[in-house]
Every structure is written in structure tokens, then in C-alpha cells.
Amino acid sequence: MKATINHHQIDLSKPIDISIPLTNTEDNPIAWYIEKPVIEPVKFGNWVGKVSEGSSTNFNNIFFNPHGHGTHTECLGHITKAFYSINQCLKQFFFSAELITVAPESVVDDFIITKFQIVNALNGKTPEALIIRTLPNEESKKHKNYSHTNPPYLSEDAATFIREIGIQHLLIDLPSVDREEDEGRLLAHKAFWNVQDVNHLNPDARLDCTITEMIYVNEEVQDGNYILNLQIVSFENDASPSKPILYKIED
């Protein structure tokens, strides 16, 4: 089935899913020092919500954290004193997107994605959404426990550049755009959303812009232009588990 989005033709029958499924197994990726998700049947006395145990339906509770348990999309409410919901901030779901691949640079004890790398990879392009795939692009990203590993992250000036050229949606295959232990500075988050004071939001803060973390882009997906469909759950929360889907542009 063909469709035209933002004046580009795509084939809806050929989605490229760059999300990581959420499971209750050791295969689930984890960040921020929490345990794996819990998916288990509801129990009322002797009744268990599981067909294999005699129920007419499977009836599970799910306990998880969107920030620590897989692909998620967040709004600036993630770092502000006032409440802002991803369900209220994200109102459009199809965007022009550019996929780039970078190898974070070694700086002292860290690996950092720099402004220079972003500038070079974009080469003058200004898509609505930027998708960053990092090297090495190992399959283990889909299952890794990132806690206490100091993963690569985005420099503050790289995030500022991304904001200044008008990119509204930033997607990355890491647990955060910021350093794991940064004393709460969250420099890349603040630079991207243009949040100058988390207690008193400035008028030009970017309410309609999002950050999506812990994606995974397979090796066979080539760098370049795509249409992004950014799907979230209708949670009134700063973040939601999400399912970003890419479509190859055919025209």
C-alpha cells in the first residue's frame, strides 16, 4: 500500500521498526539501576488470569519504567518542575527524518558524540527528525544492562547545534543523550529543549520537541532520508514507551 507523506511516496507495507520490544526476561535492556520488567497474571485468591491455568483469558499486569526498560519517547517534562505530558506535547506523528551513523570519540574516560560529527554527517540537511546510530552497532544493544557502564552520550554543543538548525525530534540508540553520572546537570537534554531553568520554564522552551532513547537500527538499514512515524502510548506522563517506524522514500 502506497502513501504520500510530506510530499514523499512511501510503501506502508514495508515498515522498518527501530524499537526494542519490552519483555519480562533477561533479554530486556536495562538502564538506571533497576530490575527487569514484570509481566504476570492477575491473581484473586485461587483465580489466576492465565488460560493455561484455567482462566478464560490471559489477564496480565505489567510493571516497567519507560526510561529504563527500552525504547521510549520523552518531552521536556522529563526535566522540569512543572508537569508536562508526552501525550499533550506530541501531537503530530509523521516527520521527515535523517539517519546518520557516528562512532563516538574517546575523550578522557568517556565516549562522546561531538558537534563536528553531527555537522559532517548532516552535511547541510535540516530534517524534522534526526536518528543517530552509534558504532559499534552490536546486537547486544537490544539486551544490554547499561547500569554502571558509562555509555556514550551527546555533547552539549552537539545538542545545541541540533536545536539551532530546527530539528524537532532526536532519536538515539543509547540510554540517554547525557552522561550516566553527571551530577544532575543534564546538559544535552536542556540544550535540545532550550530549558534554561527547570523551575521556571522560559517562553522559548521547546514544548513540541521530543527525545527518543534506546532505539536499535539494524546494519542493513542505510543512512539517509526516511519518513518517521513516531508512535507512543497515550500516557499522561513525561515519557512513554514508543515504537518509531521508518519508511524508505521511494520518489
Calculated CA dihedral for residues 209, 96, 160, 103, nearest 10 degrees: 120
> What are 124's three cell numbers?
547541510
d(CA 80, CA 198): 4
Residue 21's pLDDT is 95
Residue with cell 522559548: 204
Q: What pLDDT is stored for residue 113 in this prediction?
A: 98
The CA distance from 34 to 64, in Å, is 9
Yes or no: say if 215 and 131 are a contact pair by the CB < 8 Å rule. yes
Measured between alpha carbons, how far is 41 from 62 in angstroms, rounded to an integer? 9
- Class of domain 2-21+66-248 (CATH, top level): alpha beta
At 168 the pLDDT is: 98
Assign residue 77 a region: left if phi > 0, alpha if psi is -120 to 50, beta otherwise? alpha
247: exposed, middle or buried (C-beta count within 10 Å: 0-12, 13-18, 19+)?
buried
pLDDT tens-place values along the chain, 251 residues long:
888 887 889 999 999 999 999 999 999 999 999 999 999 999 999 999 999 999 999 999 999 999 999 999 999 999 999 999 999 999 999 999 999 999 999 999 999 999 999 999 999 999 999 999 999 999 999 999 999 999 999 999 999 999 999 999 999 999 999 999 999 999 999 999 999 999 999 999 999 999 999 999 999 999 999 999 999 999 999 999 999 999 999 97
How high is the pLDDT of residue 221?
A: 98
Amino acid found at 184: G
Query: pTM above the 0.85 mark?
Result: yes
Alpha carbon distances (Å) from 126 to 38, 100, 119, 171, 237: 40, 12, 10, 15, 29
Spans of all domains in the chain = 2-21+66-248
List alpha helices for the chain, DSSP H. 86-89, 115-122, 156-164, 187-193
The DSSP code for 199 is S
